[in-house]
Structure 1
Amino acid sequence: MSTPSKDVVVKAARSLRIIALPLTRRPISEVDGHPLVYYHFQMSPKEESAAKPTLLNRMTDKAGSIWAGFGKAEEGSWKLKTFRYGERLMDRIEFEELALKGLDPSLGPKLTIPKNTTSTVMYDADGVKIPLVYPPSYTTTPLLQLQSLIVKRLPRHRQGMWTWILVSPLTAPVALIPIIPNLPFFFCVWRSWHHWRALKASQYLEALLERGSIVSEPSEELDRIYSSHTPKDPSSAYSPPRKTSSESASKPETKNDDDVTDGILLSRDAVPSITSKFDMPPAAAADIYRALAQTSMRIGGYTKS
């Protein structure tokens, strides 16, 4: 990879912090290459409030306020019913997508491309380092896990975006029905926008990883929160994927802490401590709760299969 030339346009660096919350100690199936991890992407409040909102951000905020108004509608109204159904749909969206959608590259450290090159690789103009905070006792490869997530999510969100774009014209006949708004069309547009946001965030993180701008930062405070809020429900435990015959032959069987059956690493009681310690917004708590619930469902689905 070539180094940035003098023609790189230097822009002011903006701080970004990534907080990794491991949910399982190892993959829950043979398909997944790494344990489940929830990522919270955090901008400093000062820079986030000082950022000039784009047209897309203003439209998003407007849509969000309209949707919140649906939740305050009268009991029994179609608006309230739509809001409750939409919230149930939100619970079904993979927590990885919701986390990536929450990262706005326009608010993070700026990436630029050298003028005298046709390369599509983006460079960090200011050499800023982005901390990836993680509990060292519960994961030893935070950067590798993040990279694995990006590799997995990029094609999924690209395909999802185009799928919902192509499906949206099929909802046109619903617009002919009077009074009732074309909710299926708006849902298709919303899902394609959701995937687009997650795709852009994945591409942004991929560029940061390629430049080495993301650095792991162990947190003893996060370690203590994990150790104080370990789930005690044995029903959440699951057996790790079995090793293949070749793996068993190459690696002798040993008994250590990593060989025991384990489940979800974090209980719901830990969420307030985490959000308070790292100054997360109130919405982050709901996202972490959703990630924990989905992890429990995935573990249950794996053990049943």
Structure 2
Amino acid sequence: MSVIPSTKRAVRIIALPLATPSARKSHGVVEHLTYYHFVTPPPMEGKTRNWAAWVQNKAADLWAGLGKAPEGNWRRKSFLYGERLVDHLDFEELALKSFDTSLGPKLLHVGGKDTIKPTDNPTIPLIYPSSACESPIPHLRALLEKRTPRHKKGAIVWLAVSPLTAPFMLIPIIPNFPFFFCAWRAWSHYRAFKASQYLESFVERGAVLPQPSSELDALYAEYAPVQPDPEAPETPHPGSSYPPGNTPMSAAETQKSCPGAAETGRPHLLLTRAAVPALEKFLGLPSGGSFASDVYRALEQARLRLEREGR
């Protein structure tokens, strides 16, 4: 069942917990690696798209064109190197920058002679698997408090660094990749900052409403990493990507995991890579799109973070 048909004119946030809670805390809340996917309505028909959207689409087309170059060509090599750089960017930033806030609802301003009731403000549903997370609101609030200043600073720093790449423009034939990268990093941080700031205002007003999803619960149960045989050597299961010694929690254990104290034992992944096509189908997204690559990247980053934490 897809969440898209009922949300063609509304924003939805899909919380996808990637791992059981960490032993560490961020802003007083136990860290819980979670990927947030934003479902937004399509732009209104007949509405003129702004220049920023045009530049974004044009840049995406040019980048995709580099990836179609023959193997061994400098364009193809540049594309592959750039993709490796993206793999090292925090998946939280990539998720936030994908959220086009211009397509979301606007909060009503409180003040003046008119009295605005809290119920008059628009709301954003936050769909989540209750078997993996009791309520994602505390984690989302802590994440935004951490991310908003980070992305604001990042946008300023990369924008300031961009002019230093001007000498590379003197090199003939080869495009000024250092400048484009700095400009893209500044734009990425700015987009993530605006999305984080936007979501913070909704969370502060209590306008983000958690909605448990039985469909997501079923997906998490179906695609949980397989528990290894306790008598077998400690090696990861071929269908999983979590470190040796980590086994999935039972539904009763994981239901208590967010936002309360972390469970005993080492944190581990909650999903395998095989879950991604099923999640695409649940969301009504075309297969092989940016959602799949973003979730694969998030799962890999979560695995690496858990490995570092377990050392």
Q: TM-score, normalised by structure 2?
A: 0.79
Q: Is the contact between residue 33 and residue 148 of structure 1 (CA under 8 Å) also seen in structure 2? A: no
Q: 2:14 aligns with which of 19, 22, 26?
A: 19
Name structure 2 gaps, 5 residues minimum. Answer: 1-7, 227-235, 247-261
Counterpart-to-counterpart distance in 1, 2:147 and 2:302: 17
Alignment partner, residue 43 of structure 1: 40
Q: Please, which moves more after superposition, 197-206 or 208-217? A: 208-217
Alignment partner, residue 78 of structure 1: 74
- Equivalent AA in structure 2 for residue 89 of structure 1: L
Q: Is the contact between residue 112 and residue 124 of structure 1 (CA under 8 Å) also seen in structure 2? A: no
Counterpart-to-counterpart distance in 2, 1:103 and 1:125: 24
Q: Deviations over 1:195-217 (max 9, x none)?
A: 00000000100111122111000
- 1:52: Cα distance to partner? 4.1
Q: Deviations over 1:40-69 (max 9, x none)?
A: 00013xx44636422100110011001111
Pair 106,124 (structure 1): closer, same or farther in 2 beyond 3 Å: farther
- 1:259: Cα distance to partner? 2.7
Alignment partner, residue 189 of structure 1: 183
> Residues 55-94 of structure 1: matches in 2 within 5 Å?
55-94=51-90
Counterpart-to-counterpart distance in 2, 1:207 and 1:124: 13
- 1:237: Cα distance to partner? 5.7
Q: Is the contact between residue 24 and residue 31 of structure 2 (CA under 8 Å) also seen in structure 1? A: no
Name structure 1 gaps, 5 residues minimum. Answer: 1-12, 118-122, 240-256
The RMSD of aligned alpha carbons is 2.6
Alignment partner, residue 277 of structure 1: 282
- Equivalent AA in structure 1 for residue 14 of structure 2: I
Q: Is the contact between residue 266 and residue 310 of structure 2 (CA under 8 Å) also seen in structure 1? A: no
Q: 1:230 aligns with which of 211, 224, 233?
A: 224
Counterpart-to-counterpart distance in 2, 1:30 and 1:115: 36
Counterpart-to-counterpart distance in 1, 2:275 and 2:9: 29
Q: Is the contact between residue 20 and residue 142 of structure 1 (CA under 8 Å) also seen in structure 2? A: yes
Q: Is the contact between residue 268 and residue 289 of structure 1 (CA under 8 Å) also seen in structure 2? A: yes
- 1:24: Cα distance to partner? 1.6
Alignment partner, residue 4 of structure 2: none
- Equivalent AA in structure 1 for residue 107 of structure 2: L
Pair 134,180 (structure 1): closer, same or farther in 2 beyond 3 Å: same
Alignment partner, residue 307 of structure 2: 300
Q: Deviations over 1:49-94 (max 9, x none)?
A: 6364221001100110011111111222221111111111111110
- Equivalent AA in structure 2 for residue 88 of structure 1: R
- 1:226: Cα distance to partner? 0.4
Match status 1:153 vs 2:147: yes
Q: Is the contact between residue 238 and residue 262 of structure 1 (CA under 8 Å) also seen in structure 2? A: no
- Equivalent AA in structure 2 for residue 102 of structure 1: S
Q: Is the contact between residue 112 and residue 125 of structure 1 (CA under 8 Å) also seen in structure 2? A: no
Counterpart-to-counterpart distance in 1, 2:224 and 2:191: 33
Counterpart-to-counterpart distance in 2, 1:160 and 1:172: 20
Q: Is the contact between residue 151 and residue 193 of structure 2 (CA under 8 Å) also seen in structure 1? A: yes
Pair 202,238 (structure 1): closer, same or farther in 2 beyond 3 Å: farther
Alignment partner, residue 252 of structure 1: none
Counterpart-to-counterpart distance in 1, 2:280 and 2:94: 17
Give the length in aligned residue pairs: 269
Pair 303,162 (structure 1): closer, same or farther in 2 beyond 3 Å: same
- Equivalent AA in structure 1 for residue 36 of structure 2: Y
- 1:33: Cα distance to partner? 3.5
- Equivalent AA in structure 1 for residue 39 of structure 2: Q
Q: Deviations over 1:124-161 (max 9, x none)?
A: 99522211000101111211111111011011101111
Alignment partner, residue 194 of structure 2: 200
Q: 1:98 aligns with which of 60, 76, 94?
A: 94
- 1:113: Cα distance to partner? 3.3
Q: Is the contact between residue 230 and residue 267 of structure 1 (CA under 8 Å) also seen in structure 2? A: yes
Alignment partner, residue 242 of structure 1: none
Counterpart-to-counterpart distance in 2, 1:230 and 1:127: 38
Q: Is the contact between residue 133 and residue 217 of structure 1 (CA under 8 Å) also seen in structure 2? A: yes
Identity between Structure 1 and Structure 2 (%): 45
Secondary structure, aligned partner of 2:224: coil
Higher helix share: 1
Q: Is the contact between residue 15 and residue 126 of structure 2 (CA under 8 Å) also seen in structure 1? A: yes
Secondary structure, aligned partner of 1:216: strand
Secondary structure, aligned partner of 2:125: strand
Counterpart-to-counterpart distance in 2, 1:49 and 1:286: 27
